[in-house]
Structure 1
């Protein structure tokens, strides 16, 4: 299991009682860098941010030394160790050392202002066989393939090379993704023309759950500030250049939301978009721009991201209002995606 897979499974195993959001997931470039940045949503007060250290082998001395060294040279206030399994003995040692951790069995120790959780004694999960298929949900390229299969009509029965081209991945990556889906039971056996997706709603749910963990932060998300909060109502996006996601995308498709954050997926160079709409870089800005990862539509289409992506954006949000709307719109979004 790779680092992304360990992180995904540990988040799932500890939710609930913990409520996580992945803010960043990147390969560390220096000893003080984190493997990911997680936000822990609390019932009261602001979310607590953690810098994540993913470890495949658990040695308490190594963990203690690593966290001490990382904390000394890092800007991050809290560290979280994520491992495949933490034994009762090592759990107790982590608690004594003040090391926050979660594992893929659901064991956890979190001690930060506003939250204290200590779960220990949950048994180690049986190791999945190599090639079981679950690895596809932790792969950015595989998620691109799955998104293409879910949102492009007729794509599951298309030749593999066409699927790879449409998803923007290599032929080998597309083949691995298709085989992983077949092992998971989401792709029927048989030749190209008879191939179809199975348990599609479950696959959509899994894609939306894993999108922020394995793909979203590969799209170079950056925040910007507009000149006024309602600018998006008069903004005209060219559909072959950019598309609305998140809250604005949902508002344009429904009447449930009054957007506070504008999310834009962009195929073209961002410079022209920033100049046209007078957006300036601001880490706390209300506009987020990401690279678009699917094939741009024709110039006659609406400049709105596929509904599955809008749903995933809303579910990724720390705003409970967005998650409530996403839950209310789940059936509508999935039904509309099927018909599109």
Structure 2
């Protein structure tokens, strides 16, 4: 059976890519007298068949991990003896992975972290990249604050205007977010900025972009996350995708994620959307006839800055798209090949020209 939830689909592919393992979703959703869960995953090894009952939990962070562990502990007690709980999630940080391992919570995430531990199978796959390791070392010495991230975002949006014509810290402060000297010094210490002949310059745009996307995945997105929603009345995502586009201007939200990427590229058939919504978002999901759901296809994130919007200099027809930096960061969180291909199109067509404008 093919799973319908995007996270479940992508995590299933992670397991199928491993040698000597066959996996299938046999029931979705899974319902019993004691349990309502997102699906039943059956694993076949050369020696045995293992049944996992899947619980999808998104955006797990240091503030929510204890609740997730407590929930899964109680969840396990409601399962049959031949069943095991499996946490299915998006992207886990090193710290969260360690917490789950200590509590023997089995899991799989979109980035390829996998922990399975049964009598006939032990599997631990860690996907910590060199970038992530570098960032952990970086945090020990120089703290990247929300204000620093916002400053980085502005630099990535406007590398030509923000760096070429700034000849002093005073001029920089007047034009962009009033960053303190401390914020500027942080980026200089981390070798993202340098001062040449009185002018600040980006050392390596791609390196700065990688740092931004890492911070977005690790911390910022979880801070902006509100909830996931699904249409009422058994409607599917394709049934309401046009409505999401039509209502964007009325409710002043920005369209990102897969739907935003589809509108920007005409390459992708979207099955999910990320909406960057204003503070008063309750009216939005009421008007769109959505209901909260842990397996929802529509994610609400708080608007981060007034410049989250895509500046319409790229001949993009829809004026309610999130900036390509946000869309690209969302797509890069996935291991799905088509989403990665779409992210490459976004980068080459809409982000790379900013680099050329700067250089």
2:200 matched to 1:183?
Answer: no
Q: CA RMSD in A?
A: 4.4
Task: Identify if the C-alpha distance between structure 1 residues 261 and 26 changes in structure 2 by more than 3 Å, giving closer, same or farther.
Answer: same
Match of 2:176 among 163, 175, 194: 163
Task: Identify if the C-alpha distance between structure 1 residues 326 and 47 changes in structure 2 by more than 3 Å, giving closer, same or farther.
Answer: farther
User: 1:36-63, CA deviations, whole angstroms, 9 ceiling, x for partnerless residues?
Assistant: xxxxxxxxxx9855987839xx9xxxx9
Q: Distance in 2 between matches of 1:290 and 1:163?
A: 24
Matches for 1:305-320 after TM superposition, within 5 Å = 305-320=322-337
2:83 matched to 1:24?
Answer: no
Q: Which residue of 2 aligns with 1:283?
A: 294
2:322 matched to 1:322?
Answer: no
Q: Distance in 2 between matches of 1:142 and 1:129?
A: 14
Q: Distance in 2 between matches of 1:300 and 1:79?
A: 39
Whether contact under 8 Å (1:186, 1:197) holds in the other structure is yes
SS at match of 1:54: helix
Structure 1 gaps of 5+ residues are 1-16, 35-45, 72-76, 81-107, 120-124, 166-170
Q: Distance in 2 between matches of 1:311 and 1:164?
A: 23
- Structure 1 residue 110 displacement after superposition: 4.7
Please give the TM-score of this superposition, normalised by the length of structure 2.
0.56
Q: Distance in 1 between matches of 2:307 and 2:150?
A: 14
Q: Which residue of 2 aligns with 1:233?
A: 242
More strand by share: 2
Structure 2 gaps of 5+ residues are 1-16, 19-56, 70-85, 127-132, 313-318
- Name the larger-Rg structure: 2
Whether contact under 8 Å (1:131, 1:180) holds in the other structure is no
Whether contact under 8 Å (1:67, 1:79) holds in the other structure is no
**Comparing 146-155 with 278-287, which one deviates more in the overlay?**
146-155
Q: Which residue of 2 aligns with 1:334?
A: 351
Task: Identify if the C-alpha distance between structure 1 residues 270 and 148 changes in structure 2 by more than 3 Å, giving closer, same or farther.
Answer: same
- Structure 1 residue 31 displacement after superposition: 5.8
Match of 1:78 among 91, 106, 109: 106
User: 1:282-313, CA deviations, whole angstroms, 9 ceiling, x for partnerless residues?
Assistant: 11111111011121479995101111111110
- Structure 1 residue 245 displacement after superposition: 0.8
Whether contact under 8 Å (1:239, 1:297) holds in the other structure is no
Whether contact under 8 Å (1:223, 1:287) holds in the other structure is yes
Structure 1 stretches (4+) deviating beyond 6 angstroms? 50-53, 297-300
Matched residue count: 254
Q: Distance in 2 between matches of 1:297 and 1:128?
A: 29
SS at match of 1:294: coil
Match of 1:224 among 229, 235, 248: 229
Q: Distance in 2 between matches of 1:141 and 1:260?
A: 33
SS at match of 1:26: coil
- Structure 1 residue 198 displacement after superposition: 2.1
2:276 matched to 1:265?
Answer: yes
Q: Distance in 1 between matches of 2:343 and 2:228?
A: 22
Please give the TM-score of this superposition, normalised by the length of structure 1.
0.59
SS at match of 2:347: helix
Q: Which residue of 1 aligns with 2:149?
A: 143
